[in-house]
Structure formats: C-alpha cells, structure tokens
C-alpha cells in the first residue's frame, strides 16, 4: 500500500474543519500523514485542529490558496499527496477510490466529485446549478481540469510542472496548474465515485462575488494585465461576456423551470459590473499614490 500525505488548506475554518478532519481520520485507506496549512487564520481553526493527529504548518500572514498548496507539497513526506478543502467532508471510500487509478506512470492526478450539502436557499441552489464543481456522473480521462477541493497528485509531477502559481490567491489556481500538467504530457482522471460533500452556505452577495472572483483571476492574471489602461479595456470588454453568460443562465433556468433562480440570473450582470467598477477604482487609487 502506497503511503499518502493529506493536507487541508485552512483559513478561518472554525465552523467546518472539525467535520472535515473527522472524515479524514475515518478513511478506509490509511493516511500516513495529515497536514493542516494554516494560512494566517485569526479564529479557532488551529485550536480545533490541534485536537487531532495532524501536523500544523503556520503562515504568519494570509498568503492565499495557491501558496498554502505549495507549502503542503514542499512539506509532504510522501510521493502521493491528497488535498481536501476545509469546508468539505469526504466519504469514507473517497481516498481509496482516488488511489486505485494510479496504474500508469503518466498519471499525475485524480479528482473526485463535489456534492453541495446545502441547497435550500436561492443562493445555495444557484451555486449548485451554475457553479457545480464536478464533471458529471461518468468517469473521465483527461477532464478539462481537476477541481482543487478534492484531489490526489504525485508530488514529482507537481514539482516538474513548477508548483501552483501563487498569483492566484483564491481562485483558478487549480485550472492553471492542470493546464501545465497537460502541457508536460501528464494524464488526469476524474472519478465521480470518489465523493465529498460541500458544507458551504452562501448568500446572494457571497456567491456572486465568488463567481466574479474566478472570472477576474482567469482574465487578469492569465493574460498578465498590468497596465491600468489595459485593465480598464479588459473590464469594459467583459460586459459583453457577462451579458452572454447571464442570458445562458436565464435560458437554462427557464427551460428547467427553475423560476426561483431567474432574478439572480439578472442580478449576476449588475453584480459583476459593480465588482469590476470597484476593482477599477482601487487600481486607480494604487497608481495615484
């Protein structure tokens, strides 16, 4: 049996980390080492984690999700490194179902499916429909990417790809890394039978901001948009994209008779414009100083 290191990237997760850790120590596949990467939390996350057989690695300040993932890979004592986000609860067979796919040397990573636990409020339903973090019910070789919330990678493959890009503080780090792994000729696999539950609860503001953040990081960092004039041009150009996305959401929800979501489909445009405007203003303030 291959030895596995598992890490949890953690930032102010006192409400969810206990259940996350309980699911980890209950895995049918034995875990050799559990790391909690505390990314500058100022709540009780570390205090709770200390009650479990884990090694806690502290960042003195909040460095972002990609930096936490890199710390974990550099500190891991084993070649196989699994990750579970602090607001996720893994099925007891989760890790075993991921490990069973490492049959070829060119396989760099395997990911499972994320199931939203809370789908009662409009915001949570909208997230589960339009921000689903899975690729469906069928096993897929070479998925577009592996969602970072639950993965298992070979450490040497991550090292060869150059680790996660730490410019991606909260979003898109998983997509960008998978693209580089593919460029190096590695293989990724998605297994829907490896299941985790997502215990996140959203409101309208938080879920729309999450979508905007993903969209923002994808455009601004992947395209290396540094000049203010260029940033403004990109943001203005995104108005068309937001409109097209919103229309797609509206048509889908109307067709599926999810009428409760239609007002949020419209609000999506307004919120994204507002977040872009705020970001533009902040960028101008930084340059003027």
pLDDT at 279 over 70: no
**What is the structure's pLDDT at 289?**
46
In angstroms, the CA 216 to CA 212 distance is: 6
Count Cβ neighbours within 10 Å for each residue of 23-61 and write b for 16 or more, e otherwise.
Answer: bbeebebebebbbbbbbebeeebbebbeebebebbebee
In angstroms, the CA 193 to CA 111 distance is: 10
**Plot region of 123 (φ>0 → left; ψ -120 to 50 → alpha; else → beta):** alpha
Q: What backbone phi and psi angles, to 5 degrees, belong to 133?
A: -110, 65
Tens digits of residue pLDDT in 138-179: 999 999 999 999 999 999 999 999 999 998 888 889 999 999
- Answer yes or no: are the C-beta atoms of 40 and 169 closer than 8 Å: no
Total length of the chain: 289
pTM over 0.75: yes
Instruction: Share the mean pLDDT of the chain.
Output: 90
The encoded tokens of residue 251 equal 């048509």
pLDDT at 65 over 70: yes
Region 235-259 average pLDDT: 87
Q: Which of 217, 139, 145 is nearest to 181 (CA)?
A: 145
Work out the pLDDT band at 212, boundaries 50, 70, 90.
confident
| Distances from the Cα of 216 to the Cα of 142, 231, 272, 273, angstroms | 25, 11, 10, 11
Neighbours of 231 (CB within 10 A): 18
- Answer yes or no: are the C-beta atoms of 190 and 109 closer than 8 Å: no
Q: Which of 108, 111, 223 is nearest to 161 (CA)?
A: 108
Work out the pLDDT band at 287, boundaries 50, 70, 90.
very low
- Of 20-29, 118-127, 268-277, where does mean pLDDT reach its minimum? 268-277
- Answer yes or no: are the C-beta atoms of 153 and 81 closer than 8 Å: yes
The encoded tokens of residue 131 equal 């921000």
Q: Which of 170, 282, 268 is nearest to 232 (CA)?
A: 282
């Amino acid at each position: 049996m291959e030895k596995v290191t598992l890490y949890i990237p953690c930032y102010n997760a006192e409400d969810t980390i206990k259940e996350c850790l309980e699911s980890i120590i209950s895995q049918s596949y034995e875990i050799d080492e559990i790391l909690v990467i505390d990314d500058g939390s100022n709540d009780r996350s570390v205090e709770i984690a200390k009650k479990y057989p884990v090694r806690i690695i502290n960042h003195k300040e909040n460095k972002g999700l990609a930096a936490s993932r890199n710390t974990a890979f550099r500190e891991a004592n084993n070649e196989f490194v699994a990750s579970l986000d602090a607001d996720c609860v893994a099925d007891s067979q989760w890790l075993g179902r991921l490990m069973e796919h490492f049959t070829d040397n060119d396989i760099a990573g395997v990911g499972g499916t994320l199931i939203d636990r809370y789908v009662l409020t409009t915001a949570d339903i909208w997230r589960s429909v339009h921000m689903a973090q899975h690729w469906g019910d069928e096993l897929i070789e070479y998925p577009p990417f592996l969602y970072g919330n639950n993965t298992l990678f070979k450490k040497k493959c991550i090292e060869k790809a150059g680790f996660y890009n730490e410019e991606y503080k909260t979003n898109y780090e998983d997509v960008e890394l998978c693209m580089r792994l593919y460029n190096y000729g590695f293989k990724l696999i998605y297994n829907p039978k490896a299941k985790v539950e997502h215990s996140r609860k959203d409101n309208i503001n938080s879920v729309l901001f999450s979508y905007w953040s993903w969209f923002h990081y994808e455009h601004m960092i992947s395209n290396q948009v540094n000049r203010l004039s260029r940033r403004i041009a990109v943001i203005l150009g995104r108005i068309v994209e937001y409109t097209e996305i919103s229309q797609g959401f509206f048509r889908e929800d109307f067709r599926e008779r999810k009428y409760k979501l239609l007002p949020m489909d419209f609000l999506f445009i307004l919120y994204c414009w507002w977040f872009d405007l705020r970001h533009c203003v902040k960028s101008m303030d930084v340059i003027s100083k």
